[in-house]
Amino acid sequence: MSGEENQVAASGPGITDIKLLFARSGNRCAFPKCRAPMAINNTLTGEVCHINGVRPGSARYDRSQTDVERHAYANLVLMCPTHHTVIDDDEETYTVERLCNIKAAHEAQAAQIPDAEAAA
C-alpha cells in the first residue's frame, strides 16, 4: 500500500473497501432478514459500520487495533441506518464475533458482482 493509500485507510475506510462492501452486499443490509436496500436510485441509504468501534467509548472499540486495521474491509459491515443503531446500542448481543459471522453469512448469500468490477 502506498503512503497516500495508507493515510486514507488510517483516517477512514478506503474507496476500494467501500466499493467491495457495497458490491458484496447484494444491495441489502447485512442484518439477518433485513431486506432494506443500500442504494435507491441515485441515493445511498446504506451505512458503513465499524465492527470494532472507531474511537474510545464507541461500541466494541479495541485500543489494540491500529487505525489502518480499524478502517479496513475486515472491520466493516454494511447496514441500514436502523440496524446500524441497533448493533451499536446493544454491544452485549452484537459482539465482534457475532458481527463477523453476520457479515460472512450475508456476503455468502448475497448476489455479488466480481471483485474486479466492484473495484472499478
Question: Range with the lowest mean pLDDT among 3-7, 22-26, 48-52?
Answer: 3-7
Which pLDDT tens digit goes with each residue over 57-99? 999 999 999 999 999 999 999 999 999 999 999 999 999 999 9
pLDDT above 60 for 6: no
Strand partners, 43: 40
Q: Give the pLDDT score at 11.
A: 79
If one counts every other C-beta atom within 10 angstroms of the C-beta of residue 92, the result is 5
Q: Is the pLDDT of residue 2 over 50?
A: no
Cα 89 to chain centroid, rounded: 17
CB 63 within 8 A of CB 38: no
DSSP letter (8 states) at residue 66: -
